[in-house]
Amino acid sequence: MFLVAYITYLYGTMYVVLSTFSGLFAKVYHETPGYQGLNYISLALGLFLGTHICARSQDRIYKALKLRRCKEGLPGRPEFRVPMMVPGAILVPIGLLIYSWTAEKRTHWMGPNVGAFIYTTGLVMGYQCIQGYLVDSYA
């Protein structure tokens, strides 16, 4: 039940960030639509980095826990997919705080982009861990 609430939180914050992203750069930073679109690169880079970090680490951790805790030939437990959720759960609020505080204080345009990068890195790590857990739970 906790995972349902957490993924709901992740989806909700993602849509809030996406709905405010272009408006922030248009109203606060007075960027033209062409330059506003370039700011989405920070979101894409965060998703890309988080996907690669989590996929490799999650599989490595899963195999190590399976070797340590399961008898030979038995499948691993779904909970072995969860450890990588911890760094993601730490990165999400850090990224949101950086994004919101730097936007509120009207700092350099890189501030909100750095926050969005950190946020989406943690976001995709949470998604991957929850999806892997759900697949293993019902397989």
| DSSP classification of residue 78 | G
Q: What is the pLDDT of residues 102-138, one digit of tens each?
A: 999 999 999 999 999 999 999 999 999 999 999 988 8
Alpha-carbon dihedral of residues 52, 71, 79, 92, nearest 10 degrees? Answer: -30
The pLDDT tens digits of the residues spanning 9-54 come to 999 999 999 999 999 999 999 999 999 999 999 999 999 999 999 9
> What are the domain boundaries of the chain?
2-137
**DSSP character at residue 79:** G
- Helix 85-104, helix 40-69: angle, nearest 10: 160
Calculate ∠ Cα 124-75-59, nearest 5°.
30
Task: Determine the Cα–Cα distance for residues 76 and 65; give it in Å rounded to an integer.
Answer: 8
**Degrees, nearest 5: CA angle 103-35-51:** 70
